[in-house]
Amino acid sequence: MTLIGEHTDYNEGCSIGVATPWRTTVIASEGDRGFIEVESAALGRARCSLARPSGPPFVVLAAALASATGVDGARLEVASELPVGAGLSSSAAFAVAVALALGFEGDALSVARVCQRAERAAGADVGLLDQLVVLRAREGVAVDVDFSDLSVETPLVPENIGLTVVDTGVRRDVSSSDYAARRAECAAAAQVIGPLGRASIDDLSALDDELLVRRARHVVGECARVRAARAALAGADLEALGAIIDEGHASLRDDFDVSTSRVEVIRDAVRTLTGVVGARLVGAGFGGCLVVAHDPEVPVAWHETWAARLFPSTGARVTAER
């Protein structure tokens, strides 16, 4: 999942991601020639032709990966602990697991790129962030990607920085949300000032559309926050990281317009808890999870009481803890 740096990957910016404890496993076996079949407790069961893929996005994605790996027929059994539509890279984890199960060989960037193409074939015009984080993140080790040159660093997450994921219960689908509209708006701004991930605040003065100014301002500011987060991680500065996370949420809400009223209620409540120093929406937006930065010395039982005490009518729940 993303620690900081949302909607920056497709804008040639930078981002930092971290691992969650959940796993997605895919077992591939021989199937009918010319067909791909996927069976998953979370996604359902589907089968389609490799020559003319059609059906649910997950089976179309699997078909694209089978074609990319030269597999002419397979049956895939999928087991995943990741909630679908929660902003925790479930589709990227599925794509990576399928690619590896089908025998795709290559470095992390090669795997990420073939998975990106497969997701696009299935209707989601995603960037490369989620796939790279799925492939490279480990417990206590973040993934810092500069998308201007696709360089990757793996900084440590200091022991004094606690990170918890809170599931708001609000689900979204990237292919059917306004994600594509945000990409188009960023592209329109980039036509005027160049790649937003490389732009400065001063460059925004060249934009005469206030909507595009807000979209570009988020990306420019988010890249600055990623740079600040690098320093906070290097200096084990929990308070600084929390402030950065808070600023990132405000930008997603106000400049990028990807939050929801229900997410805001839950986020505001979480932010008042003792020991919490920052909380923000994770992923593309329009629902999903929050990443919460907090004092790791707070007992685990304290986290387990969040949902019951604060959100009995919303369906929110704590779903993971570092």
Q: Which residues contact 284 (CB under 8 A, 6 or more apart)?
A: 6, 7, 87, 172, 174, 177, 179, 182, 258
Report which of 280, 282, 283, 285 is spatially closest to residue 256, judged by C-alpha positions.
285
d(CA 11, CA 187): 8
Residue 20 tokens, joined: 């969650």
Neighbours of 45 (CB within 10 A): 12
Helix H or strand E segment including 25: strand 24-30
3-class secondary structure, 139: coil
Q: What is the residue whose two structure tokens read 């685990």?
A: 300
Q: Is the dihedral of CA 253, 257, 258, 262 positive or negative?
A: positive
Beta strands 35-40 and 44-49, pairing class: antiparallel
Give yes or no: 130 in active site. yes
CA angle in degrees (0–180, nearest 5) for 41-280-222: 110
Residue 47 tokens, joined: 């089968």
Report which of 175, 139, 161 is spatially closest to residue 236, judged by C-alpha positions.
161
Neighbours of 122 (CB within 10 A): 23
b/e code 262-280 from CB counts within 10 Å (16+ = b): bbebbbebbbebebbbbbb
Q: Which of 130, 144, 167, 237 is catalytic?
A: 130
Report which of 135, 133, 23, 25 is spatially closest to residue 82, judged by C-alpha positions.
23
In degrees and rounded to multiples of 5, residue 173 shows phi and psi of: -125, 115
DSSP single-letter state for residue 298: S
Residues annotated as catalytic are 130
